[in-house]
Amino acid sequence: MKQSMLRANVLIDPLVQASSHIETSIAHTTPLHYHDYYELFIITSGKCVHTVNDQDQILGKGSIVFIRPEDNHCYGFYNEEDCQFMNVNFHQEMVEYAFDYIGDRIFSQHLKSLSLPPNLMLSDIEMESAIGKGEQIRLYSTFDKPKARILAKSFLIETLTYFFLQSKSDEQQAIPVWFDSLLFQMQKKENFCIGLDKLYTISGKSRGHINRVFKQYLNTTPTNYINHLKLNYAKNLLLTTNLEILDVAFEAGFDNLSHFYHLFRDFFGMTPGSIRYK
């Protein structure tokens, strides 16, 4: 069950679109919570129990974890052992920029759709480099925000590259070119607003085959994938326009307002109306 929500407009400087700090003890961390932003944390010493999405992970020095918006998590002591870690937080827009820079839609969707946030082990050299850049972000945020923002983008792209390389080494077979093309086409408003029928028409594949490919590569269903595209588009309209909520729902491809409210609340943890005033 979702607990307290940490918000970007409170914790992240909008001119930097990122923030960095060191947690010196689990005793100082927030109880079970989730965010409306992305977070990368690196264990720099000790061990901890990381409880996320109702599962426990044992993390030690060098572990780096990519927390997505809506992941529920908290930290606990491991056999009374404490730990220290670096937290670097990012606005969603900066993460989307980094994903675009990497340029692999399968990879970005895979990281977003996993049931547990992805994690990996950094080498000592990689960890020292990441910690140094995180400290630079924190330092420059106090007196040179444009430079801090550039450093944050660099840190994020480099870190996501570690996850990207791991995902490529873990692949058992090549991702079909036609599927990558299908995802590209479905990100266009004129396609995702129509929905499943358009997806199946563009693919030229059977529904059963499409369902299996979505499960295999994205760990989701075509319906959920399209709903996420529609909901993110609707969220952007709510934050950047004065359209009525009914008009936003229709513009994003929803023909049932009640269904739109239900999906929006489940995905973002708040109603369409409240997101404008968060």
**Residues 127 and 184 reside in one and the same domain:** no
Backbone conformation region of residue 41, classed left if phi is above 0, alpha if psi is from -120 to 50, else beta: beta
- What CATH number is attached to the domain comprising 184? 1.10.10.60
Closest CA to 72 of 89, 51, 86: 51
Mean of the pLDDT values across residues 174-186? 82
Q: Which of 170, 193, 210 is the last residue of a domain?
A: 170
DSSP 220: S
The torsion angle over the Cα atoms of residues 86, 100, 102 and 14, rounded to 10 degrees, is -20
**Residues 251 and 266 reside in one and the same domain:** yes
Q: With bands split at pLDDT 50, 70 and 90, how would you rate the model's confidence at 1?
A: very low
- What CATH number is attached to the domain comprising 24? 2.60.120.280
Q: Is the model's pLDDT at 18 over the cut of 90?
A: yes
- Domain holding 238, by residue range, is 177-277
**Residues 164 and 231 reside in one and the same domain:** no
pLDDT in tens, 121-148: 998 889 999 999 999 999 999 999 999 9
Q: Which of 140, 170, 200 is the last residue of a domain?
A: 170
> 153 with 98: CB under 8 angstroms?
yes
Q: Which of 170, 200, 221 is the last residue of a domain?
A: 170
Domain count for the chain, please give it.
2
Q: Is the model's pLDDT at 235 over the cut of 70?
A: yes
Mean of the pLDDT values across residues 59-87? 92
Mean of the pLDDT values across residues 41-45? 95
Report pTM. Answer: 0.67
